[in-house]
Chains A and B, each alone.
Chain A
Amino acid sequence: MTSPDLWSHSQALFSFQVSPYRLLFSRQQSTSSSARSDELNQSDLIRDFKISYEEFKYVEEILPSPTVPEIKEHAQYPTPSGWFPPNESLQAEQKYLVRRTKNHMLPVYFHTQETWYGIAHYVSIQKIEGDIWALESDVREHILKSTGQKMVNTQVHEVGRFIRVRGQHRELIANFLLGRGM
């Protein structure tokens, strides 16, 4: 029942000092004629149906999984979001390896630190295995060549297996690593 109808209905009942409860009851009465089929008619039951398990794969795709799934092979890389998979053959030629995160992303992170002499920007590369110093020198070379600046400050943490590079060079570093197949 739409609200204008209700209002006109309630107006009609005003003479009887109608309470809200009464109003509800009258509303039910007026609509009960159309919905009187409380009993289930056997003829209404659907009998001809087939059980199929083939469509469940569409449900599985939507269900949340406890672990991050592997990424399917795409026809073309980069994917529309700009993602590249790691390249095993290129990786095998390097002296170092930068593992992907569990979400299959590069472990390259940009940080901003406020210091007494200003704001410091740096990019950190984590999850490094192998010759960390070789990676540091390669990254430094790449940045000096690409940007043309005179020097690049870097920090190598051998125990924690990360490198920090001063400057806002996250895209350069990411592209460099992708170029090496990481």
Chain B
Amino acid sequence: MLHLIAARMGSLMARRAAVALTTSSARMASHGREVSETVDMSRPMYWDRLDTPLPDKAYKDELTAADKSLKQKEKGPWSQLTNEEKIALYRLMFNQTYPEMKQPRSEWKTIVGGIFIFMGFTGLVVWWQSLYVYPPRPRTFDDEWQAKQLQRILDMRMNPIEGFSSKWDYEKGQWK
């Protein structure tokens, strides 16, 4: 979470590019601070997915001697395994349990916050533009000019049958 905030403050565009890459090592590469470990995508990979219960390989590759002896014990009757051993076997094979995978995250808060920050920044840019970039306001927008323009339209009897002037009552001098 802090990792993401730091990346956002630092270099937003680099983070955008990094998000497109799926491995976290690639995200680290965008910081340029740590050495990135390359993931060999030609070999079977592990991932936690709700719709893929059994990934292509086990989570832990390098087994300690204790792990190996546990794996040997797994070949025998499973009723002889204690609960801790069963959990250890699970954790050797898998990283997260299903409840852990389904944990709610706060990433959306970062995203929505980022959206609002950008929108706010855009608002500032627009306001500054209206102050320093826009040309002077045309005089045709002044109320006085608009009133005279309206009077001229009515005097010229523009669209007198179905359109604008037809809505003006010339006898009474008011809108119908």
Same assembly: no
Interface residues of B, Cβ cutoff 8 Å to A: none
